Structure 1
Amino acid sequence: MRAPRECASWFWDLEDYAPPGLESALKTAAQMSAVLRKHDLLEPSNLEWSWFVPALGGAPARTRLQIMRPLDDEQLVQEVDKMRPVGYPEAVGGDLLVAGSGVWLDGRAAPRREYRLVELTVSPEPFGLSAEVSVFHDIWGPFDFRGSPHPEVHRNNAPRLAAALKELEALLGVPAEPGEATYFGTAVGYGVMEPDAVDGRGPDLTDQL
């Protein structure tokens, strides 16, 4: 099951890793998504972002672009820039969401493909580059969202996510900061915090699904 809010996220402040800006953000997204692809967690297929007008705030537009070339291809920078809303010539692009499919393993270790299994966001903001990895499904924790234990699913998937996060830390040279806790979970270390169990069951979170 997929939650409407993340059950865990990890944030990197990348001021010392790369300069701000669209081109730098796309190069960073390419490097990070290559790590996630290596672990079968994200095969990029779409790039999404909102537009903002300096000093005015958001423009009424969100753009979704099918990825037809590598994220660090110089032509992709030009494509993104050309998609600026016609009525807002001063608009600048906001956070870049790299969306695509990933593979998770069920209780029998059979692979299953899921859209937006892992989400990668890179911010090109002028005050400093940053990035975030978020997960939304119950496969990363020891209980599903109904509270039922699923140790095989957890064992088949959580180590893959942890390995990818550690590799991202090594790539970026910056420790990951756990994101804010939500109703659906909390990031701790390289995984999702195990909730308190009652009679062998976790909390039932389906009222918010």
Structure 2
Amino acid sequence: MITTEPVGEWFWDVTVDVSDQRGAANALDLFTAVHAQMAHQEIAAGWGRTTISLAPRDAVAQPLLSWQGASPAGEAAAVDRVGLVAGRLLSVQSDVPGVWFESGTSHRAEKLFSLGLDVWGEGGGLVTLSTFSDAWLTLDLRERAQPAVHAENAPRLAAALRGMSEVLGSAPDPGDPTRHAHPTATGFEDLSEEGADYDDSWGTFEVPARWQKLMRLLPDGYPEQGYESWTDGPVRYAKVLSRDQVMGYLWVGTAEDAAGYEPRTAAGEAAFEEGIPWLLHFAKARQAGVPPLDALREVAGSHGVSELHDIDSLDMLQEYSGRH
């Protein structure tokens, strides 16, 4: 399953040559070399949303230069013109699309990893890698054994971590255990013997985190304006599409006045943004006294929304939206 919060993280201490007034170029060369190593191990599939910031270390919220795009490779000259010098901090952060395998079939996530680099003007730095998938684990996020998925994916992650360490010239420092798993220098601890810390970290933490993320994108007062956001019974749903890609799922309870939207997490940030107009549609329908199933029928089969489907529970739909 794909999450919005890291399943695990790794850190590398690095040193960047900043003596030749090309500190930013050297830093971005290192960053792209690390990304290339991930691509070589076939866990990275291009560049996602990337940001660059150069700021005083004591005022990082007031950058001297900021940039957002895809590959950062061509931005070094602009940063070096401003100058990576003592007292300044260069930060590079990139969402990394990638693929994982299940039963021999590849699946793409627009944010399978997050790759970061912080470099101080004096030359010290830190590389950070975060993953947002449970494909590397012996147990999935509902504490169910997944030996085949682990066998298909964990060796690829281990090889990528080794390759990154060779490029960076230092061993990875695994991050602290998360709500989902325990990182190690080669991937993750085998949880199949002692079990995970939580029986269902997906339902306990990830589903509420996705809802909170949606709420931050909606106007104040939305929860009071919309239908109930949960149902224990079966649901009817429609796929929300953009450029033939499934972004998420509009759903309504078949026996209760409940309705909502589940983002397809693998589609990335756009999945959350795509759901906002539809949630506002539900809120407007509720204010007009329209039953939720009628509100869904109004848009089903229209541009960007599929025909209706049935599933046994909202819990099953939420898991499906995180797994595919």
Q: Name the counterpart of 1:114.
A: 109
Q: Name the counterpart of 2:17.
A: 19
Q: Please say if residues 102 and 118 of structure 1, whose CA atoms lie closer than 8 Å, have aligned partners that are also in contact.
A: yes
Shift in Å, 1:167:
1.4
Tell me which amino acid in the other structure corresponds to 2:51: E
Q: Deviations over 1:64-111 (max 9, x none)?
A: 2133xx72xxx422356799xxxxxxxx664211223111101x1111
SS of aligned partner of 2:170: coil
Say which structure is richer in helix: 2
SS of aligned partner of 1:116: strand
Q: Deviations over 1:147-172 (max 9, x none)?
A: 11111111100000001111122222
Q: Flag the structure with larger Rg.
A: 2
Q: Deviations over 1:160-196 (max 9, x none)?
A: 0001111122222211111122212221121112336
Q: Please say if residues 122 and 132 of structure 1, whose CA atoms lie closer than 8 Å, have aligned partners that are also in contact.
A: yes
Q: Please say if residues 95 and 114 of structure 2, whose CA atoms lie closer than 8 Å, have aligned partners that are also in contact.
A: yes
Q: Please say if residues 14 and 127 of structure 2, whose CA atoms lie closer than 8 Å, have aligned partners that are also in contact.
A: yes
Matched residues, number: 194
Q: 1:201 to 1:13 in 2, by over 3 A?
A: closer
Q: Name the counterpart of 2:129.
A: 133
Q: 1:199 to 1:55 in 2, by over 3 A?
A: closer
Tell me which amino acid in the other structure corresponds to 1:58: A
Q: 1:166 to 1:81 in 2, by over 3 A?
A: same
Distance 1:35 1:153 in 2: 22
Which residues of structure 1 form unaligned runs of 5+?
84-91
Distance 2:121 2:195 in 1: 50
Tell me which amino acid in the other structure corresponds to 2:94: V
Out of 34, 41, 48, which is 1:39 matched to?
41
Q: Deviations over 1:46-75 (max 9, x none)?
A: 3224564443341389742133xx72xxx4
With a CA cutoff of 8 Å and minimum separation of 6, indicate the structure with the bigger relative contact order: 1
For normalisation by structure 1, the TM-score amounts to 0.79
Q: Please say if residues 101 and 117 of structure 1, whose CA atoms lie closer than 8 Å, have aligned partners that are also in contact.
A: yes
SS of aligned partner of 1:97: strand
Q: Name the counterpart of 2:75.
A: 76
| 1:190 to 2:186 alignment | yes
Q: Name the counterpart of 1:58.
A: 61
Q: Please say if residues 5 and 182 of structure 1, whose CA atoms lie closer than 8 Å, have aligned partners that are also in contact.
A: no
Q: Please say if residues 148 and 201 of structure 1, whose CA atoms lie closer than 8 Å, have aligned partners that are also in contact.
A: no
Out of 160, 164, 175, which is 1:168 matched to?
164
Q: 1:116 to 1:79 in 2, by over 3 A?
A: farther
For normalisation by structure 2, the TM-score amounts to 0.53
Q: Please say if residues 145 and 204 of structure 1, whose CA atoms lie closer than 8 Å, have aligned partners that are also in contact.
A: yes
Q: Please say if residues 195 and 202 of structure 1, whose CA atoms lie closer than 8 Å, have aligned partners that are also in contact.
A: no
Q: Percent identity?
A: 24
Q: Please say if residues 47 and 66 of structure 1, whose CA atoms lie closer than 8 Å, have aligned partners that are also in contact.
A: yes
Say what the alpha-carbon RMSD is for the aligned residues.
Answer: 3.0
Q: 1:51 to 1:203 in 2, by over 3 A?
A: farther
Distance 1:183 1:189 in 2: 18
Tell me which amino acid in the other structure corresponds to 2:24: L
Distance 1:113 1:95 in 2: 27
